[in-house]
A and B are shown apart, each in its own frame.
Chain A
Amino acid sequence: MIVTVASGKGGTGKTTVAVNLALSIGDAPIYDCDVEEPNVHVMLQPTELETREVQLPIPEVNRESCTLCGKCAEFCQFNAIFVGKNGVIVYPELCHSCGGCALVCPENAIAEVGHTVGQVHITEANGRRVVYGELTIGEPIATSVIKAVKNEVVGTEVSIIDAPPGTACPVIETMRDSDYLILVTEPTPFGLHDLKMTVDVVRELSIPFGVIVNKAGIGDDSVTEYCKGEGIPILMEIPFTRRIAELYSRGIPFVEELPEWRERFQQLFRAITEEVEHHDQ
């Protein structure tokens, strides 16, 4: 079973929920798909076991056989290849690795070579498998690194995935194949607005979901009212307290210092499991 923790708005507490949930329910592995700014490892301080490069194929033009006909550049939808008077320039960060240029080249002058866009770190923290992706700084396209992290998810065991913020393609890529989505929000106008956007996306994916209201008490009741009106279950409310904020600032998962929360996360997890079984039937 894959449980993915997501949110439209950034900084609502996705990583906090993912980490504290995992710590409360045994040794469930965590996969950090927020590859632009991964933070799970900042909280769990794991030991690195293995690092894998994430590579995408990009074109390499053989200057001997290239006739500068320009068909590749004409075909490329992403302006990633430019044919000038004296040669061809490839812009790796614009390339979407579709392979079209190699396909259309009449001289077979284009081969594809690997271009590193990020890394996947396979790590371990107190016997728990922690896998996180890291997009190379300056590379724009995160989805391939997200896919590489998700490829590490093993079989049918319970897995917790930490998603990136937003509602665009990296988020959809992360949510695909999940059995349940926990949407973390905060009770503010920004939190509500971005929650609504996320709910629109999630409903299209037809994955069961519920909401955790983090930093409860800082704003207004509009998130609670919205969820009631829409029939969306509120799975948990985590109050805003200086204590929890301060623990987070030090990178400490709060269930370690406030053990009564372990039981609450276990309850939440039981409810999710029932919901998923119900949904599957």
Chain B
Amino acid sequence: MISEVAVVSGKGGTGKTTITAAFAALAKDIAIADCDVDAPDLHILLQPEIQFTDDFVASKVAVIDPDSCTMCGLCEEKCRYDAIHLPEIDRIACEGCGVCEYICPVGAIQMEDKVSGVVHTSTTRFGPMAHARLHAGEGNSGKIVTEVRKLAIQLAKRHAKNLVLIDGSPGIGCPVIATVTGVRLAIIVTEPTMSGIHDMERVLSLMHQFRVTPMVIVNKYDLNPDNTVMIEDYCHQEGIEVLGKIPFDPIMTKSMVAAKTLPEFAPDHPITETLEAMWRRIESRLSEVAGARS
């Protein structure tokens, strides 16, 4: 049985990817999935060697033949996405529903496969990795996330790994829902700012709705110790485990600039030790959660 752990945050820029990369360096026997398909950054630290690349087709797009179009305007009227301004169809606004093709009295519109992005499977120094890149302006981020998770599970099976570590995207919408659906454990990385707290509460509600067990990491906790206490109190009240706290330290950015994970860049640094303790706790919590489910 392969388990999945997702790192998410609600608010962007709290340190998800830096922390995920550190966990990847500390973990043994994992496959890695970068599900932040909208702005993927994990590859900057893990430098995957791409083994396989494929176009990802998740939807259709309407294509109009201007020669047979009579400009009757029926499609324009029925399109709910304001994608049709005859004689043109906006490929970005089109969601591929097929209403225009159906309604066109002269068959001037056809639905064609639309490539939303590319998916990769790769090797890294910490294990196999699945990742993707959504083409600019595309929708379908949820579907491509689901595909990346599927590929990561396949990689884990093939390489006899029992855990997939997922780097998620910010927010609570489509890609985040696709990232956490069916996942047992989610690590929420927050920061002690009013916005960080607000966004954490929203992402925690989402975890609750999707029955994912959350654990919270407070990053840069010393930037506002009062707010950190507020986060800890909130989690305590809600019965959510605070996995730990990481102080603000320029070494985090320095390791990023060196394109290394923190445990590689600074193996003896206190934050590396903190991250090690967190990862051990994640592993033991994972077996508890897995036990409770089965």
Give the B-binding residues of A (Cβ under 8 A).
8-12, 15, 36-37, 39, 42-43, 75, 77-78, 96-100, 103-104, 135, 137-142, 164-172, 186, 188-190, 193-194, 197, 200-201, 204, 218-220, 242, 245-246, 248-251
Contact = CB atoms under 8 A, between A and B. Distances in A.
A15 B194 CA distance: 12
B186 to A, nearest CB: 14
B192 interface: yes
Given A11-B13, A164-B171, 17 more contacts: A10-B11, A36-B171, A37-B10, A42-B195, A96-B95, A96-B97, A100-B99, A103-B78, A135-B173, A140-B177, A186-B13, A194-B39, A219-B257, A242-B223, A248-B193, A249-B227, A251-B194
A165 B39 contact: yes
Contacts, number: 183
Contacts of B134: 167-168
A42 B201 CA distance: 13
Nearest to A41: B198
B142 interface: yes
Contacts of B13: 9-12, 186
B239 interface: no
Contacts of B17: 190
B172 interface: yes
26 contacts: A9-B39, A10-B11, A10-B171, A11-B12, A12-B12, A36-B170, A36-B173, A37-B198, A37-B202, A77-B59, A77-B97, A96-B95, A98-B98, A99-B78, A99-B80, A103-B103, A140-B173, A167-B38, A168-B138, A188-B256, A201-B136, A204-B136, A245-B220, A249-B192, A249-B193, A249-B194
Contacts of B259: 189
Interface of B: 9-14, 17, 38-39, 41, 44, 59-60, 78, 80-81, 92, 95-99, 102-103, 134, 136-139, 141-142, 169-178, 191-196, 198-199, 202-203, 205-206, 209-210, 220, 223-224, 227, 248, 250, 253, 256-257, 259
Given A8-B39, A190-B44, A249-B223, A42 B198 contact: yes
Per DSSP, are chain A's interface residues mostly helix, strand or loop, or mixed? loop
B202 A172 contact: no
Nearest to B14: A11
Contacts of B253: 188, 218-219
A75 B176 CA distance: 27
B97 A218 contact: no
A248 B220 CA distance: 13
B81 to A, nearest CB: 8
A229 B31 CA distance: 37
A37 B172 contact: yes
A103 B172 contact: no
Identify the interface centre among A164, A167, A168: most chain B CB within 10 Å of its CB. A168
The interface centre, meaning the residue of A75, A167, A249 with most chain B CB atoms within 10 A of its CB, is A249
